[in-house]
């Protein structure tokens, strides 16, 4: 795992300054390439072939191809064998060199050969052509800016901000989208003029122009599945075992995150099949049982005989908020961000690589929002007046409950989402900016800079999907609209902050394509999420793990904002220039008062605003 950056002019000092901003991504080596037309920089976290032969930038034999690459290619040995058969000579045991020679043989088509996670840049010297690409799923990030003829790219936004040719301006449309969905959807970022390269896309900079092309998308091919359910379960088991084993290649110590949920427990059990020695597992817990999964993690750790490490977390220091926002580069309000940041710091004391269970909730309909959308079909049989006015107002009167979920909290959240525009599909239950908040939160000048259509991008993605049934169409939205810019962005930044590589075997693209070929009813059966996943794990894990529901390890933020973070929240939001100038400060203070008094649970919007304030203070001071 590493960090890359570059730009289309000659400036070695700037290249090194940009690389210095991401030294946490690669503390083991710095490399720079400079020519009249292109400057590239690289920071290395050594994982495979720890020798100097693995240093980057990496060149082909005649120096006509220059590569900087972040990620892991899990089928690099098979590709290397094919290339050696064609006469290519290798000077290292790295996956990076496979990409160099693969580009020589297949050109841009090398992307179709790669099985793994990556963000890469290839400078084709004789053609004066820069080729950038991001992996199919979006596990590894890549940002770029193209303004007034100046093209820059980097693994993190902060690299681009080192150049005086990149202006720092707030992207107000991104601010609107963020406050609703709690992340900024591609290709936008919170900085106007800086973009994300979307997952599954490549970018060519040539002759002063850029061209972006989507080389992969998730396709469902409705009606083409020929497997019975039992046959699909067996194939799923085989592929799960294969991808976990393939993700174990490493020349440094590795471990695994274990929450006690189905996904991470599956990975631990499959790793144990292939690792006979010590297996290190890492988990996080809280004293509040409604937020903690420690008991389940302990069951799995004992079942798989792991060396188990537990990090207890019940307080949250303001500096954690500041530190995570610097690494994120833009606000992203996943309530598990800080716990993951701290867990990665702990894991790094023992290992350099960790496997993690991200992806199954998206590809197998594991979130509560999938169930909410199913219930909503019946809820919408009620007249709109009853749904929105009678039931909606009744929910507003019910007090917020202390526990994380609970019947009342879940019912309130369901009704809130159900009463949003149905164009939001199941993502209505992941949206937190109501029309009432919109009207009162933004100043007129700020609102004029925004298109206040919360689900406009959801509609675009939904139109792009070939899924034949509703569950698969919902899965597409999770996989292609949400995951790369929220869950995977969080995982990349929080792990790289501690120079820790996280691998996500459940997002192997071949496995994802296999799951997409199966009917949605095999994923959400009635109200049982991940139905086929649970069937595939029978006998591998204890029944109490296989059949338990989803919980997650998010912070108890609503309590923290009423307690130890209350004063920090009040001062932060009242002193923030972006809050003061672009938003209605009096309304923000009303939200604070209602939340702290227990009259309402405004933790999502308040936590989002706090992240905006911290971000603006850090990057615009």
Q: What is the pTM of this model?
A: 0.95
CB atoms within 10 A of CB 18: 31
Supply the pLDDT for residue 406: 65
Please answer whether residues 603 and 557 qualify as being in contact, where contact means their C-beta atoms are separated by less than 8 angstroms.
yes
The CATH number given to 2-214 is: 3.60.20.10
494 DSSP assignment: H
Supply the pLDDT for residue 468: 78
pLDDT tens-place string over residues 318-372:
999 999 999 999 999 888 899 999 999 999 999 999 999 999 999 999 999 999 9
Please answer whether residues 355 and 523 qualify as being in contact, where contact means their C-beta atoms are separated by less than 8 angstroms.
no
β-strand pairing of 58-59 with 29-34 = unpaired
Q: Quick one: tokens of 509?
A: 């693209």
pLDDT tens-place string over residues 77-88:
999 999 999 999
Phi, psi of 323 (to 5 degrees): -65, -45
Distance CA 125, CA 499 (A): 31
Least confident among 237-241, 404-408, 591-595, 608-612: 404-408
3-state helix, strand, coil in the chain (%, to 5): 45, 15, 35
Distance CA 45, CA 400 (A): 45
Measured CA distances, 610 to 188, 566, 618 (Å): 21, 11, 12
Please indicate whether residue 309 or residue 381 has the higher confidence score (pLDDT). 309
Supply the pLDDT for residue 416: 86
Which has the closest alpha carbon to 120: 55, 175, 73, 176? 73
2 in active site: yes
pLDDT tens-place string over residues 432-461:
999 999 999 999 999 999 999 999 999 999
Q: Is the model's pLDDT at 404 over the cut of 70?
A: no
Distance CA 162, CA 41 (A): 13
Supply the pLDDT for residue 116: 98
Please answer whether residues 323 and 470 qualify as being in contact, where contact means their C-beta atoms are separated by less than 8 angstroms.
no
Please indicate whether residue 409 or residue 126 has the higher confidence score (pLDDT). 126
- Find where tokens 């082909």 sit: 60
Distance CA 128, CA 467 (A): 40
Please answer whether residues 57 and 40 qualify as being in contact, where contact means their C-beta atoms are separated by less than 8 angstroms.
yes
Distance CA 204, CA 35 (A): 18
Distance CA 242, CA 236 (A): 10
pLDDT tens-place string over residues 5-43:
999 999 999 999 999 999 999 999 999 999 999 999 999
Reduce the secondary structure of 314-373 to three states and give it as a string: CCCCHHHHHHHHHHHCCCCCCCCHHHHHHHHHHHHCCCCEEECCCCHHHHCCCCHHHHHH
Average pLDDT over residues 190-215: 98
Architecture of domain 229-364+489-546: 3-Layer(aba) Sandwich (3.40)
**Which of 2, 344, 354, 465 is the catalytic position?**
2
Least confident among 121-125, 171-175, 418-422: 418-422
Please answer whether residues 271 and 264 qualify as being in contact, where contact means their C-beta atoms are separated by less than 8 angstroms.
no
Supply the pLDDT for residue 388: 74
Distance CA 607, CA 481 (A): 22
Q: Is the model's pLDDT at 401 over the cut of 80?
A: no
Distance CA 490, CA 336 (A): 9
Residues 6+ apart with CB under 8 A from 310: 283, 284, 285, 294, 297
* Coil/strand/helix, residue 30: strand
Supply the pLDDT for residue 126: 98
* Coil/strand/helix, residue 50: coil
480 DSSP assignment: I
Q: Per-residue confidence at 389, pLDDT binned at 50, 70, 90?
A: confident
pLDDT tens-place string over residues 127-169:
999 999 999 999 999 999 999 999 999 999 999 999 999 999 9
Q: What is the mean pLDDT of the chain?
A: 94
Residues 6+ apart with CB under 8 A from 160: 5, 18, 143, 144, 145, 152, 153, 154, 166, 194
Could you tell me the strand order of the sheet in which 353-355 lies? 307-312, 280-285, 254-257, 353-355, 501-503
Name the burial class of residue 457, with classes exposed (0-12), middle (13-18) and buried (19+) by CB atoms within 10 angstroms of its CB: middle
pLDDT tens-place string over residues 504-561:
999 999 999 999 999 999 999 999 999 999 999 999 999 999 998 776 666 788 889 9
Please answer whether residues 159 and 22 qualify as being in contact, where contact means their C-beta atoms are separated by less than 8 angstroms.
yes
Distance CA 306, CA 301 (A): 5
Q: Per-residue confidence at 467, pLDDT binned at 50, 70, 90?
A: confident
Average pLDDT over residues 214-228: 91
Run of H or E residues at 179: helix 172-181
- Find where tokens 């701290």 sit: 342
The terminus-to-terminus CA distance of the chain in angstroms comes to 31
Supply the pLDDT for residue 286: 82
- Find where tokens 């909290």 sit: 409
Average pLDDT over residues 383-406: 71
Q: ∠ CA 94-98-102 to the nearest 5 degrees? A: 170
203-221 burial string, b = 16+ CB within 10 Å, else e?
A: bbbeeeeeeeeeebebebe
Average pLDDT over residues 588-611: 95
Distance CA 62, CA 75 (A): 25
Q: Per-residue confidence at 224, pLDDT binned at 50, 70, 90?
A: confident
Q: Domains of the chain: which residue ranges? A: 2-214, 229-364+489-546, 556-621
528 DSSP assignment: B
């Amino acid at each position: 795992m590493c960090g890359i950056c570059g730009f289309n002019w000659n400036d070695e000092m700037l290249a090194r300054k940009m690389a210095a901003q991401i030294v946490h991504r690669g503390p083991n080596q710095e490399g720079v390439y400079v020519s009249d037309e292109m400057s590239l920089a690289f920071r290395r976290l050594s994982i495979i072939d720890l020798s100097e032969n693995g240093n980057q930038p990496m060149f082909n034999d005649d120096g006509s191809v220059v590569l900087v690459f972040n990620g892991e290619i899990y089928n690099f040995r098979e590709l290397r064998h094919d290339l050696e058969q064609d006469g290519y000579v290798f000077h290292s045991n790295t996956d990076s060199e496979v990409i160099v020679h693969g580009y020589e043989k297949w050109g841009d088509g090398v992307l179709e050969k790669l099985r793994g996670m990556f963000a890469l840049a290839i400078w084709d010297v004789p053609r004066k052509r820069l080729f950038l690409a991001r992996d199919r799923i979006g596990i590894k990030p890549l940002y770029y800016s193209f303004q007034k003829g100046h093209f820059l790219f980097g693994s993190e936004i902060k690299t681009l901000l080192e150049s005086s040719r990149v202006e720092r301006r707030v992207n107000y449309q991104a601010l609107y989208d963020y406050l609703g969905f709690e992340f900024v959807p591609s290709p936008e970022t919170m900085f106007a003029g800086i973009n994300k390269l979307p997952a599954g896309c490549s970018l060519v900079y040539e002759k002063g122009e850029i061209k972006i092309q989507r080389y992969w998308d998730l396709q469902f091919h409705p009606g083409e599945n020929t497997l019975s359910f039992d046959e699909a379960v067996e194939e799923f088991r085989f592929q799960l075992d294969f991808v976990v084993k393939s993700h174990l290649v490493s020349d440094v110590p590795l471990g695994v995150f274990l929450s006690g949920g189905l996904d991470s427990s599956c990975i631990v059990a499959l790793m144990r099949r292939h690792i006979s020695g010590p297996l290190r597992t890492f988990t996080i817990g809280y004293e509040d049982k409604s937020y903690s999964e420690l008991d389940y993690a302990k069951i799995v750790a004992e079942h798989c005989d792991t060396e188990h490490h537990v990090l207890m977390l019940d307080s949250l220091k303001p500096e954690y908020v500041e530190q995570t926002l610097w690494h994120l580069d833009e606000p992203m309000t996943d309530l598990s961000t800080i716990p993951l940041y701290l867990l990665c710091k702990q894991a790094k004391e023992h290992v350099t690589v960790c496997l993690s269970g991200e992806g199954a909730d998206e590809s197998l309909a594991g979130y509560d929002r999938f169930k909410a959308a199913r219930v909503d079909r019946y809820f919408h049989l009620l007249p709109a007046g009853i749904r929105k006015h009678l039931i909606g107002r009744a929910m507003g009167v019910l007090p917020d409950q202390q526990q994380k979920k609970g019947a009342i909290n879940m019912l309130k959240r369901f009704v809130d989402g159900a009463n949003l525009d149905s164009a939001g599909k199941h993502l209505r239950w992941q949206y937190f900016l109501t029309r009432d908040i919109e009207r009162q939160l933004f100043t007129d000048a700020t609102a004029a800079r925004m298109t206040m259509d919360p689900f406009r991008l959801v509609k675009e993605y939904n139109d792009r999907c070939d899924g034949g049934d509703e569950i698969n169409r919902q899965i597409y939205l999770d996989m292609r609209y949400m995951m790369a810019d929220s869950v995977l962005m969080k995982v990349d930044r929080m792990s790289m902050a501690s120079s820790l590589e996280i691998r996500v075997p459940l997002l192997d693209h071949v496995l994802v394509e296999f799951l997409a070929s199966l009917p949605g009813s095999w994923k959400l059966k009635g109200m049982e999420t991940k139905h086929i996943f649970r069937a595939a794990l029978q006998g591998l894990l204890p029944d109490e793990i296989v059949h338990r529901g989803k919980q997650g390890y998010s912070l108890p933020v609503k309590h923290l904002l009423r307690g130890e973070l209350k004063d920090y929240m009040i001062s932060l939001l009242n002193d923030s220039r972006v809050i003061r100038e672009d938003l209605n400060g009096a309304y923000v203070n009303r939200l604070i008062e209602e939340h702290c008094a227990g009259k309402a649970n405004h933790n999502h919007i308040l936590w989002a605003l706090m992240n905006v304030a911290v971000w603006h203070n850090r990057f615009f001071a």
